[in-house]
Structures are given as structure tokens and as C-alpha cells.
Chain A
Amino acid sequence: MKALRKLTWIELKLFTRDPLSLVFTLALPFFFLIVLNGVFGNEVETDPAEDVWRGVGPADYYVPAYLGLVMSAIGVLSMPTRLASYRERGVLRRFRASAMPLWAVLGSQIAIALLTAVVGAVSITIASTLIYGTDLQPADSLAFVPAFALAALSFGALGVLLGSVMPTSRSAQGAGIMLFFVMFLLSGSGPPREVLTGPMKALGNLLPLTHVITLLQDPWLGFGWNTGASIIVASILVGSVALSIRYFRWE
């Protein structure tokens, strides 16, 4: 436990010293929020035929989407790059030779993922409330908290999986940046899903962020627990854990 605690604390410090992680997980989602809310404002569309924002104001629609975007930046970009680089540089080999338990290595990564997701969520929610007057808390907290935990864990596990299969930190970073932007555009954190064309929507349905955003958005906006999305996101979690156990390599 002492090793896990120390490693988590050190990983947290390393995270704050890494510009790439900070930019993608905290600065970039915030930047998107400013741009998109600047464009769309927060007026509720009264004509249901014209509405693409699920019956709420655009800014309210986007808050849970950005919470998901922060998680995805950790899961597809920051964590895989870090783990692949650790393997490439022999850091994992050194951990193993020093009897650092695997669960401490991976546990610290998951802990960082959860912590970053929470910090990102709190700062985005507060900023959005201050600037655009959106709600400071979810409409359905009882459903939102487990949805948030499930989503963050799922992206954390996906990050471990990608970090396990990516051969180098460069490939992890390249694939991660691509995935991040494709998900940003097609999962409902960029243009609202309603305006996407059929093929875009279909592709979006294959992306984990789409379901994470649905899972977060429904309780945030008061539409309750989304069972379909929760099953998909839980499956990603279970699948990632299983495949990570199968494919994780120390070197």
C-alpha cells in the first residue's frame, strides 16, 4: 500500500509537470467550451422540430460532454503515452526488478485518471457556471455520481489497455491524438449529435466517448440513468481489464 501511495503521489506530480497532459486534459476541453459556447450561447430552442440540443440550452448540453472529453483525453492520450514510454525507456523493467507490484503500477494510473477526471469536472463546471450561468450540479446526483465513476474507470482501463498494446510512446501519442479529435468531433462534444450525417452518427456509435457522454448527460440533465449506455461503458471497462491482463508487458 505504501508503494501504491508513493507512486500515485509521484505520478500526480509528474502529471502536473507534463505540459502535454495538462494541455489535452485540462486546457483544451476548456478552450473548446469557450469557443462552442461563444458560438451557440445557451438559449433553449423552443421549436421541437428545430431543436438539436435535447431540449436544453447548448451550454447546459455541453457541460457533461466536456466532463467526458477530459476523461477521454486521459484514457486515449495521456495514459497510453505514459505507459508506452515507461515500457520503452525501461522504467517498467526497473519497477519489476525492484518488485514493484503490478497492481501498484496500474492502480496509480487509474487513481490519476479518476483524480484528473474529478479536477477537470470541477473546474469545467465552475467555469461554465461563472461564465454561462449553467447549473453547478447535476439534476440527478444520485444517478450522476455512479455514472461518472463508471465512465472515468472505463476510460482509465482503456488507457491501460492502449498503453499495453502500443509499441512505442510515439505510436501511442499519434494514435491517441487522432482518436481524441475524432471522438471530439463525432461523440457529441463538438457538433451536437443531432446535426451529424448518417455515416458520421454510425461511426460515432462505435466510439466509447459517445456512450460515455450519453451516460453522463442523461443524469446531468435530469433524464435519469441510461441503462443502454451504462451497459456499453461497463463492457468497455470489463473488456479493457481482461485484454490488459492478457496483453500487458513489462518490456
Chain B
Amino acid sequence: MVRAAGLEPVLLSMMDSALVVDGLRKRYGDTMAVDGVSFEVAAGEIFGIIGANGSGKTTTVECVQALRQADAGSVRVFGIDPQTDRASLRSVVGSQLQESELPNRLRVWEALDLFASISPTSADWRELLADWGLAEKKDAAFASLSGGQRQRLLVALALVNSPRLVFLDEMTTGLDPAARRVAWDLIDQIRLGGTTVVLVTHFMDEAERLCDRIAVFRQGRIIAAGSPQGLVDAHAGDATVHFSTDEADLSWLANSQGVERIDRAGSRVTVHGSGPLLAHTAATLVAHGIAPLDLRTERKTLEDAFLALTARQGGTTA
């Protein structure tokens, strides 16, 4: 279990959790791919797993789905133990696997029809075809689909058994920026439909845009967890506010709430500090009769937090 100051705990109450992972370990030869990972995903949320390549993200979700046998730890998916009750697991879980394809000459509708036939809880695949923008490609062979269309088909297949929890593993890798935006909207749609989403990604903008909560993986461990904003606040470093002024003496600004340091380069001023720095700085400036036109703050992103986290731990991002 991971706790850090100012962060929400990773474990929620047992009440409405979709997924509970406790002390998961998996070793490949001499490498601990997953080294004591614990987290909990609430029903209805989008939970992000981020980390560099080889940090144990995919191994974790594969162990959770019983596609790999973990060495230690326990997993519960809506109370189901994946290792002992695979059949029940498969009926509540959908999976868009990383690096998994379909036969080249298989047509889109045939793939949906086939995977729908496996599960008794299957939705009407014709609806999925329309929802995921594949209606026009119904009769197209898998090999003829674009990267974006393939991903949409694979996600549609992950949803064909009407799962309560769906794993999306690097679903936007290899997509162009426009296709990624479309994919993001689709992930929002999945959640709106009531399905819990576990999103594995190494795109920070994607995690920040979509996830309610995020676990940051590094070398098989969770090194930080929380909401995207919580991670940014706790780890992305100082807030900064920039403006220009010809006013010579700004010593009074140092007493403004949250301000820690003021740098000047000619008329350009940079204020370092914490908390809602922009609002306090603006108020203080206006109170002193200064209203700079170019007052702005630099928005810190999850990427800053991630880089700071991995750098602080002496990590490298692959």
C-alpha cells in the first residue's frame, strides 16, 4: 500500500471496488517484474497505470487477468479470485491486449460475431459496430484496416461480452494525434456506460486527460498514486507566475501568500511558490496598483510530476 503526504490513499474501502490487488509479485528469472504491488480500483472510475517501458505495468494487468500466474499476492475482481474462477472472471472482464492482432483475412463483422459467440452475456455486436464507428468497415478484412480502425475494433471486441471492468493496454500507441483524440472520447463513453476502466499507458497527457486516479509504476513498484491533479501538486515542483513591470521595488511581493522566491531579469519577473499562487500574486499586485497585462502562470502537467518522480528515484525513462 502506498501513502504519500497530500495524496489520497490507493486503497479505498472494500465496498464498491471493482479490483483489489494486494502484494502482487512476479519474477522472470533474476528480474522482479512486479515487486509487491497493491492498489484498488473503484467501480465506475478510470484508473490509470503509468510508467516507463519495462516498469511492470503490462505484467501486472496480465497477472490480474490470470493470463500469467503471479508468484505471490492476491487479486479480487468484483470479489472473484481470477486464479481459481476463470470462468466467472471472463464474464465480468473485457480485455484489449497489447500487441494482439486478428487473422488478416478475418472481416470486422466476423470478428465481432465470433467473440460475441463465446460469452453468454454478449451485447448486440451490431450496436458496438455503430458505436465504435466501424459500420462502414463491416465487411473489411482486418489487414486492410488503419491503425485507428484496428484499435477501435480491438476495443469493441473487449466490450463485446458487456464487461463490468475493461483493461485497455496501450490502446493509443501507434495512433496519430487525431485518432488518439477520438480514442479518448471513446474511453469516456465506456465509463459513461457504467464500465470501470483500467488504462495502461505511457502517454502522460492521455492519463491526465482521462484518469480519475493514477498509479505510477517504476521497476515493478508503485512509487506514487493519486488523482492527476494530486500528483501534479505533490510532485511537479513549484508553481511559477510570470509578469512584466517597470516598478523597481517589489520587496512587498515576498510577503504575499505562498510566495517563496522572486527572480528578476530586467522588467521580467518570475515568482516561485506554492498553492494558488496566481490568484494571490494577482491580488497583491492589484492592491499595490500594478496590473500587468502579461500576468500568467505556467501550468504544471502530469509529465512534470512523472519526470520529477522518476528522476528523484534515480530512474530512467525508456
| Chain A residues packing against B (C-beta within 8 Å) | 2-3, 5-7, 10, 13-14, 17-18, 85-86, 89-91, 93-94, 96-100
Residue of A nearest to B167 (CB): A97
Min CB–CB distance A188 → chain B (angstroms): 34
Given known contacts A13-B110, A85-B103, what 12 new A-B pairs fall within 8 Å (CB)?
A2-B117, A3-B114, A7-B114, A14-B105, A14-B106, A86-B103, A90-B99, A90-B100, A91-B103, A94-B157, A96-B67, A98-B115
Closest to B102 in A: A91
Residues of chain A lying within 8 A (CB to CB) of residue B118? 3, 98-100
Most buried by A among B65, B102, B103, B106: B103
| Shortest 3 CB-CB contacts between residues of A and residues of B | A90-B100, A99-B90, A6-B117
B88 to chain A, nearest CB (A): 10
Neighbouring B residues of A86 by C-beta, 8 Å = 103
Given the complex of chains A and B, what is the CA–CA distance between A91 and B102 in angstroms? 5
Chain A residues near B115 (CB-CB < 8 A): 98
Known: A91-B101, A91-B103, A99-B86. A10 touches B157 (CB 8 A): no
Q: Which residue of B lies closest to A101 (CB)?
A: B118
B95 CB within 8 Å of chain A: yes
Q: A97 to B154, alpha carbons, bound, how many Å?
A: 12
What residues of chain A lie closer than 8 Å to B91, measured between beta carbons?
99
Chain A residue with the shortest CB-CB distance to B98: A90
- With both chains docked as a complex, state the minimum distance between the C-beta of A34 and any C-beta of chain B, in angstroms: 29
Q: How far is the CB of B40 from chain A (nearest CB, A)?
A: 22
Known A3-B117, A6-B117; judge A94-B100 contact (CB<8 A). yes
Q: Which of the four size classes fits the interface of chain B?
A: 20 to 34
Complex CA–CA separation, A145 to B91 (angstroms): 42
| Closest chain B CB from A87 CB (angstroms) | 11
CB distance from B271 to the nearest CB of A (A): 52
Q: Does B81 contact A (CB under 8 A)?
A: no
Most A CB contacts (10 A, CB to CB) among B87, B90, B101, B102 go to: B101
Of the candidates B101, B103, B161, which one forms a contact with A14 in the assembled complex, judged by CB atoms under 8 Å apart? B103
Q: Scoring B residues 88 to 126 as 1 if CB is less than 8 Å from chain A, else 0, what string do you get?
A: 001100010101111101100010011101110000000
B105 touches A18 (CB 8 A): yes
Q: Which single residue of chain B is at the shortest CB-CB distance from A94?
A: B100
A94 to chain B, nearest CB (A): 4
Which residue of B is nearest A16, CB measured?
Answer: B105
Q: Is the CB of A97 within 8 A of B114?
A: no
Q: How far is the CB of A173 from chain B (nearest CB, A)?
A: 14
Q: A98 contacts B161, CB within 8 Å?
A: yes
In contact, A98 and B95 (Cβ under 8 angstroms): yes
Q: Is A97 touching B95 in the complex (CB atoms < 8 A)?
A: yes
A99 contact set on B, CB distance < 8 A: 86-87, 90-91, 118-119
Q: Is there contact, CB below 8 Å, between B67 and A97?
A: yes
| Complex interface: chain B residues within 8 A of A13 (CB) | 110
Chain B nearest CB, measured from A14 CB (Å): 5
Inter-chain contacts of A2 with B (CB < 8 A):
117
Residues of B within 8 A of A18 (CB): 105
Task: Point out the residues of chain B lying under 8 angstroms from A3, CB to CB.
Answer: 114, 117-118
**Complexed CA–CA distance, A89 and B114 (Å):** 18
Min CB–CB distance A1 → chain B (angstroms): 10
Residues of the A chain whose Cβ atoms lie less than 8 Å from the Cβ of B114: 3, 6-7, 10
List chain B residues, Cβ under 8 A from A17.
105
B residues less than 8 Å from A90 (CB atoms): 97, 99-101
Cβ-defined contact, A6 with B65, below 8 A: no
Residue of B67, B101, B105 near A89 (CB, 8 A) is B101
Q: Do B67 and A98 touch across chains, with their CB atoms under 8 A apart?
A: no
- Most B CB atoms within 10 A — which of A3, A18, A98, A100? A98
Q: How far is the CB of A79 from chain B (nearest CB, A)?
A: 14
Residues of A within 8 Å of B117, CB to CB, are 2-3, 5-7
B90 contacts which chain A residues (CB < 8 A)?
Answer: 98-99
- What is the distance, in angstroms, from A92's C-beta to the closest C-beta of chain B? 9
Check if B102 sits within 8 Å of A97, measured CB to CB. no
A6 adjacent to B113 (CB under 8 Å): yes
CA distance A5 to B91 in the complex (A): 20
Q: How far is the CA of A97 from the CA of B169 in the complex (A)?
A: 13
What's the nearest-Cβ distance from chain B to residue A119, in Å? 19
The chain B residue with its CB closest to the CB of A4 is B117
Per the bound structure, the CA–CA distance linking A201 and B298 in Å amounts to 82
Once bound together, how far apart are the Cα atoms of A210 and B103, in whole Å? Answer: 33
Q: Separation in Å of the A170 CB from the closest CB of chain B? A: 15
Q: How far is the CA of A91 from the CA of B157 in the complex (A)?
A: 12
Which B residues are CB-close (under 8 A) to A94? 97, 100-102, 157
**A to B CB contacts below 8 Å, 26 in the list:** A3-B117, A6-B113, A6-B117, A7-B114, A10-B110, A10-B114, A14-B103, A14-B106, A17-B105, A85-B103, A89-B102, A89-B103, A90-B97, A90-B99, A90-B100, A90-B101, A91-B102, A91-B103, A96-B67, A97-B67, A97-B100, A98-B119, A98-B157, A99-B90, A99-B118, A99-B119
Q: Which A residues lie within 8 Å of B113 (CB)?
A: 6
A86 to B65, CA, bound (A): 20
CA distance A97 to B95 in the complex (A): 7
| Min C-beta distance of A80 to chain B, whole Å | 15
Q: A86 CA to B67 CA in the complex, in Å? A: 17
